[in-house]
Structure 1
Amino acid sequence: MERFVDVADGVRLWSERLAGPAGADPLLLIMGANASGLAWPETLLARLTAHHPVIRYDHRDTGRSTWAFDEQPYSVADLADDAVAVLDAWDVERAHVVGMSMGGTLVQLLLLDHPDRLLSATLLCTAALDAWDVPDMPGPSLSLLRMWQEFDDPRDDAGELAWRVEHWRLLNGTTIPFDPDEFRELERRVIAHTGRPDTPGAHARAAQDGLERAAELGSVTVPTLVVEAPDDPVNPPPHARHLADTIAGAELTTVPGMGHALPAAVVDPLADALLAHTAGVRR
């Protein structure tokens, strides 16, 4: 079932609820920067919906949600509030929440500002709110930094698709073999869902106000799992360890070979970790 959620004047988010077992607790998926909710692999959704109703959505300026950053700029913190609005729209009082990359940043803000809405939290391929203030903490690879400078370059439809696949190749890392056909099909689905072929890039311009709150994470009481991606070229080790050490009571697990992408090879171990975590949480 699909639903549009109004989050500001003239700004609507596309969302979808996928059916799970009757009476099971819902699970909200929050994707990373500039990524549609369609970026969650269908195979992962199948694993998760066997145990939970699953809600996914498009951030502002992605997918079928409103693209209007230049007219209505916003902050990263506003995107965290959007996640709460999605829960409200589906009449969900509390949910297990999973955030990838920037989605993990948003989940950290939810842990601080809306713990009453979270049954559990899972963060993957992400960094702690204070990570860039930690001496010698590694940043994204140089090859990715160079490619990110091309976000707004003009490309025809074929060139755009090829650029996205190459971007996924870098994000995938070097341990798990990269299948370009897998990610080409993913991006074709995303483009068809979105109805436009251009690359979204608004989140790189979103204000960073209100993110200097890592010290507060030591008081978190929501059961939290941090998933380490050892071959992540965006937030490489020791980011996950630092994040787990920062959040009170957080557990750390590793998906071997995982980079900053969700190829078929990581779906089962990732789903196993997510479902073990949610199964261990009692209301």
Structure 2
Amino acid sequence: MFIETLVPVSSDPAVDLFVAQTGGSAERPLLVVHGGPDWDHTYLREPVAELADHRRIILPDLRGCGRSTRGLADDAYTPAAAAGDLVRLLDAWEIGRADVLGFSYGGLIAQRLALAAPERVRRLVIASSSVLPVPPDAFEGWQERTERMTAEAGVWSDPSLSGPELTRAAALAAAPANVWRPEALPGCLDVLRGIRFSAEWMRPWQAGTLPSARHPDAAQRLADTGIPVLLLHGRQDMTFPADLVETTVELIPTARAAVIEEAGHMTHIDQPRAWLKALDDFLSED
């Protein structure tokens, strides 16, 4: 179903993006931006691929991730550079406007893309992410979250782990916090085991030199663009609190919320049918 290719998007530094795409309608492209950021796109292939009968699904690996160019200088890994790559990907394929879905950290990069080139974005889906900053006390008193995140915290403090092995171990340890329903956990782990993890973005992050992915005044700036926005979220998300979704909708007149019950951060794995329906309904509007 997927056609895989490398697409040059930058010459200085030289960057090729690895991209998987479907052969759906070229008139209805959907660009999907993964999170991590040191993950690849593959954990989002399902259920998005089910839209391929009427959409052209485009799933790139960001620079430094998956099968895209790695080994760049640390200062080449920035949210602004990643967003610029995506605009040039659209240019390379002569896509004037696309629907854009950004998941988790990719939701922040998708916002940057929309703000840098609003004329290129028809509709914006911010999935399991946030427009507003997460308050320091957002999860205070949520004991189950603390318990579910204990294993991941132990991985990050393990001195024997580094590089992609650390990224992979942390993702696997975080799985019980990222899906809400216990019955969804085995499927989530299977998906995670197939990811080509990297650690390119982790280096500047650990050094404290990675710029914030959150665009200043994002809510007001997105409101000014007039782009229709869907905030697609799980009620039990333990990374970005669902409460911020309702607050954001009040700030962006063109935004709406789809908060899915019994779903965590990996809402598309916890509740794939509800997640896909909310996505498809939104994108199908004129």
Q: Do these two structures clear the TM 0.5 threshold for a shared fold by scoring above it?
A: yes
Choose the corresponding residue for 2:225, options 210, 215, 220: 220
Uncovered stretches (5+) of structure 2, i.e. residues with no partner? none
The reply to whether residue 167 of structure 1 matches residue 167 of structure 2 is: no
Deviations 1:220-248 (A, max 9, x none): 31111111311100001212122322333
Deviations 1:18-53 (A, max 9, x none): 1114x54110001112221112143x1332212201
1:36/1:157 Cα in 2 relative to 1: closer, same or farther (>3 Å)?
closer
User: Take 2:273 and 2:66, find their aligned partners in 1: how far apart are those partners?
Assistant: 26
Q: CA deviation at 1:258?
A: 1.7
The DSSP-based 3-state class of the residue aligned with 1:11 is strand
The DSSP-based 3-state class of the residue aligned with 2:76 is coil
1:206/1:161 Cα in 2 relative to 1: closer, same or farther (>3 Å)?
closer
Q: CA deviation at 1:218?
A: 2.7
Segment of structure 1 superposing worse, 156-165 or 256-265: 156-165
The aligned counterpart of 2:188 is: 183
Correspondence 1:122-161 to 2 at 5 A: 122-128=125-131, 130-132=132-134, 137-138=138-139, 142=146, 143=149, 146=153, 149-150=156-157, 153-154=160-161
Equivalent pair of 1:61/1:202 in contact (CA under 8 Å): no
The aligned counterpart of 1:34 is: 38
Equivalent pair of 2:64/2:77 in contact (CA under 8 Å): no
User: Take 1:131 and 1:159, find their aligned partners in 2: how far apart are those partners?
Assistant: 26
One-letter amino acid of the counterpart of residue 266, structure 1 = Q
Q: CA deviation at 1:162?
A: 5.8
User: Take 1:151 and 1:47, find their aligned partners in 2: how far apart are those partners?
Assistant: 39
1:123/1:149 Cα in 2 relative to 1: closer, same or farther (>3 Å)?
same
Uncovered stretches (5+) of structure 1, i.e. residues with no partner? none
Correspondence 1:77-156 to 2 at 5 A: 77-128=80-131, 130-132=132-134, 137-138=138-139, 142=146, 143=149, 146=153, 149-150=156-157, 153-154=160-161
TM-score normalised by the chain length of structure 1: 0.82
Q: CA deviation at 1:263?
A: 5.3
The aligned counterpart of 1:5 is: 8
Equivalent pair of 1:3/1:15 in contact (CA under 8 Å): yes
Q: CA deviation at 1:252?
A: 1.0
One-letter amino acid of the counterpart of residue 222, structure 1 = I
The reply to whether residue 278 of structure 1 matches residue 278 of structure 2 is: no
The aligned counterpart of 2:78 is: 75
One-letter amino acid of the counterpart of residue 94, structure 2 = D
User: Take 1:104 and 1:70, find their aligned partners in 2: how far apart are those partners?
Assistant: 24
Equivalent pair of 2:242/2:259 in contact (CA under 8 Å): no
User: Take 1:170 and 1:188, find their aligned partners in 2: how far apart are those partners?
Assistant: 16
Q: Please, what is the CA RMSD of the aligned residues?
A: 3.2
The reply to whether residue 47 of structure 1 matches residue 50 of structure 2 is: yes
User: Take 2:126 and 2:262, find their aligned partners in 1: how far apart are those partners?
Assistant: 17
Deviations 1:150-191 (A, max 9, x none): 488527999986653222222213xx2244432333233223
The DSSP-based 3-state class of the residue aligned with 1:190 is coil
Deviations 1:112-142 (A, max 9, x none): 22111011111111111x424x685458955
User: Take 1:100 and 1:211, find their aligned partners in 2: how far apart are those partners?
Assistant: 16
